[in-house]
């Protein structure tokens, strides 16, 4: 029997939007100075002929999603753009009715082949990694979910029960989820507020002494100024991963500045996350890092909430990089390596105890990973890809609908605030940070919520 809530794709189109960074961002040994956004528009038709439109946007973060020395970053970016366009082409040719999850899942079966053949057709002898495929396809996935929710005149997160979905989670994951649907793992109303993780990049000035020439645009420029301006309580620290002294000193320096400013504010509780961007050779580096921080700055150690993806994203090629000992001390969160359910199961075997959800990996995949992480009792956080505008609201709506999410990262306001101007007047409490939080309760509209 056909489901009256099912939709089919009527039209998909896409465009590129460029946003220049206010200041450069350094991570994983590379410096990023602009963002290329892929914007996707999807029109769907319900079985009764009712039409609805959805929108999705995401930075094509090639530096993060496709680090390689085989071709230049400009080349990987162009391939990711083309991949996104090809996803739109494939989607335009897809005619079956279904739930947004179902349609996205079926279409994603084409991505593996496309990722292997597209670069060659463009004259490059490389294979597109799965993570880059997910990022390039994610704006379409978001737009599809947005359109599906709007077709039902509902928030998309309230269309995840057996009434709407045609298959249970066992169909997409495994028998552990038999008879379960995503409504079990999502909230019917968004969390009212969530703490915001502010990024402290390797190039970011901590004090006035770190600045040679001020930008002078009225925005904060030092860490202390950011903490005061936004009432920050969560700081994400980018670290080297191959220079223990630098990493330890960086955390101590940040903690020194934060402690001074928080004391002035009367704040007694704040947190850090530490991101090594896969640069650690092994778990021993992480253990040495944590032990050193605990020895020389015990309060800073206590403030570390979790450690993010310390070693290589290629889990299968590095089976010796087990995180069990480190995970006994702090949650160790999988990020770059998390591309599908199989990767999550392997990460658990290798000792990872937490999951970083990212809208840039696709709305469908993020919902599946959120369900699995909850099923397995894992630590949960949501991070972004220096997401401006719509992509930040999308990331925030995801975080606000998943039970147990500790905090959300949002550094677009730091590095590319120009991309927020269109929506800052409509959602001021999402882009003007107060008391270190974002007002996610406003993301309760139809579709993805905004």
> How large a percentage of the chain has pLDDT more than 70?
99
DSSP string, 289-353: HHHHHHHH-HHHHHHEEEEE--S-S-TTT-TT---HHHHTTS-EEE-TT-SSHHHHHHHHHTT--
pLDDT band, very low/low/confident/very high, at 31 (cuts 50, 70, 90): confident
| Phi, psi of 108, deg, nearest 5 | -65, -15
- Distances 335 to 28, 307, 381 between C-alpha atoms, Å: 13, 10, 10
Q: Is 422 left (phi over 0), alpha (psi -120 to 50) or beta?
A: alpha
Residue 190 sits at φ, ψ, to 5 deg, of: -70, 145
Cβ atoms of 287 and 325 within 8 Å: the answer is yes
Mean pLDDT, residues 346-367:
98
Please give the pLDDT value at position 33. Answer: 85
Question: What is the rounded distance in angstroms from the CA atom of residue 229 to the CA atom of residue 332?
Answer: 30
Average the pLDDT over 109-137 and give the result: 98
Question: Can you tell me the distance from the alpha carbon of 72 to that of 113, in angstroms, rounded to the nearest whole number?
Answer: 22
| pLDDT value of residue 143 | 98
Decide if pLDDT at 30 tops 90.
no
| CATH superfamily assigned to domain 7-172 | Enolase-like, N-terminal domain (3.30.390.10)
CA gap 315, 321 in Å, rounded:
8
Measured distance CA(370)–CA(181) in Å, rounded: 12
Report, as an integer, the average pLDDT of 85-114.
98
The answer to whether 77 and 33 are in contact (CB under 8 A) is no
pTM comes to 0.96
Provide mean pLDDT across the span 121-128. 97
Residue corresponding to tokens 């500045």 = 257
Torsion of CA 173, 395, 164, 50, to 10 degrees: -140
CATH architecture type of domain 194-442? Alpha-Beta Barrel (3.20)
Per residue in 298-322, pLDDT (tens digit) is 999 999 999 999 999 999 999 999 9
pLDDT per residue over 152-211, tens digit each?
999 999 999 999 999 999 999 999 999 999 999 999 999 999 999 999 998 899 999 999
The ranges assigned to domains in the chain are: 7-172, 194-442
Q: How many CB atoms lie within 10 A of CB 180?
A: 16
CA distance 170 to 330: 31
Confidence of residue 28 (pLDDT cuts 50, 70, 90): low
pLDDT band at 383 (very low <50, low <70, confident <90, very high): very high
Q: Which residues contact 17 (CB under 8 A, 6 or more apart)?
A: 36, 37, 39, 57
Q: Residue 267, SS3?
A: coil
Q: How many CA atoms lie within 13 A of 268 on its CB side?
A: 0
pLDDT digits (tens, 9 = 90+) for 254-290: 999 999 999 999 999 999 999 998 999 999 999 999 9
Mean of all residue pLDDT scores within the chain:
96
What is the three-class DSSP state of 101? Answer: helix
Task: Check pLDDT > 70 for residue 1.
Answer: no
Whole-number Å distance between alpha carbons of 290 and 272: 13
Per-residue pLDDT of 213-263, as tens digits, reads: 999 999 999 999 999 999 999 999 999 999 999 999 999 999 999 999 999
E-assigned strands of 224-298? 234-238, 271-275
Q: Are residues 276 and 239 in contact, defined by beta-carbon separation less than 8 angstroms?
A: yes
The count of other CB atoms within 10 Å of the CB of residue 239 is: 25
pLDDT for the residue numbered 227: 98
Please, which residues have CB within 8 angstroms of residue 206's CB and are 6 or more apart in sequence? 200, 222, 223, 224, 253, 254, 257
CA 159 vs CA 182, 183, 234, 443, 445: distances in Å: 9, 8, 32, 16, 13
């Amino acid at each position: 029997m056909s489901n009256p809530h099912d939709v089919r794709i009527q039209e998909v189109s896409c465009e590129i939007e460029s946003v220049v960074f206010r200041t450069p961002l350094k991570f994983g040994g590379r410096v990023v100075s602009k963002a290329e956004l892929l914007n996707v528009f999807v029109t769907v038709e319900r079985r009764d002929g009712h039409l609805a439109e959805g929108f999705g946007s995401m930075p094509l973060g090639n530096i993060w999603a496709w680090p390689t020395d085989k071709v230049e970053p400009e080349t990987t970016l162009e391939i990711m753009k083309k991949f996104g366009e090809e996803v739109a082409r494939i989607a335009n040719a897809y005619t079956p009715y279904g739930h947004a999850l179902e349609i996205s899942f079926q279409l994603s079966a084409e991505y593996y082949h496309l990722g292997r053949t597209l670069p060659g057709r463009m004259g490059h002898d490389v294979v597109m990694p799965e993570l880059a495929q997910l990022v390039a396809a994610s704006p379409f996935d978001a737009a599809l979910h947005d359109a599906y929710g709007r077709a039902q005149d509902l928030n998309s997160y309230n269309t995840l029960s057996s009434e709407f979905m045609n298959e249970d989670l066992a169909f997409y994951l495994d028998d552990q989820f038999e008879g379960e649907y995503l409504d079990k793992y999502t909230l019917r109303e968004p969390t009212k507020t969530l703490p915001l993780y502010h990024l402290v990049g390797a190039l970011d000035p901590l004090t006035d002494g770190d600045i040679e020439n001020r930008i002078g645009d009225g925005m904060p420029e030092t860490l202390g100024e950011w903490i005061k301006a936004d009432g920050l309580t969560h700081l994400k620290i980018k670290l080297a991963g191959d220079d223990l002294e630098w990493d330890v000193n960086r955390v101590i320096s940040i903690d020194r500045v934060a402690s001074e400013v928080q004391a002035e504010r009367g704040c007694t509780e704040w947190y850090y996350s530490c991101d090594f961007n896969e640069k650690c050779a092994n778990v021993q580096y992480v253990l040495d890092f944590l032990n050193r921080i605990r020895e020389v700055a015990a309060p800073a150690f206590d403030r570390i909430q979790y450690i993010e993806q310390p070693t290589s994203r290629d889990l299968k090629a590095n089976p010796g990089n087990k995180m069990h000992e480190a995970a006994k001390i702090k949650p160790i969160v999988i990020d770059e390596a998390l591309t599908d359910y199989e990767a999550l199961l392997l990460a658990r075997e290798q000792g990872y105890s937490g999951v970083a959800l990212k809208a840039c990996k696709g709305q469908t995949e993020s919902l599946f990973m959120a369900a699995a992480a909850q099923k397995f009792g894992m630590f949960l956080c949501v991070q972004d890809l220096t997401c401006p505008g719509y992509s930040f609201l999308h990331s925030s709506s995801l975080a606000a609908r998943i039970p147990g999410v500790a905090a959300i990262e949002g550094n677009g306001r730091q590095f590319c605030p120009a991309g927020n101007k269109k929506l800052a007047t409509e959602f001021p409490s999402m882009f003007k940070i107060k008391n270190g939080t974002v007002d996610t309760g406003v993301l309760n509209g139809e579709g993805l919520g905004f």
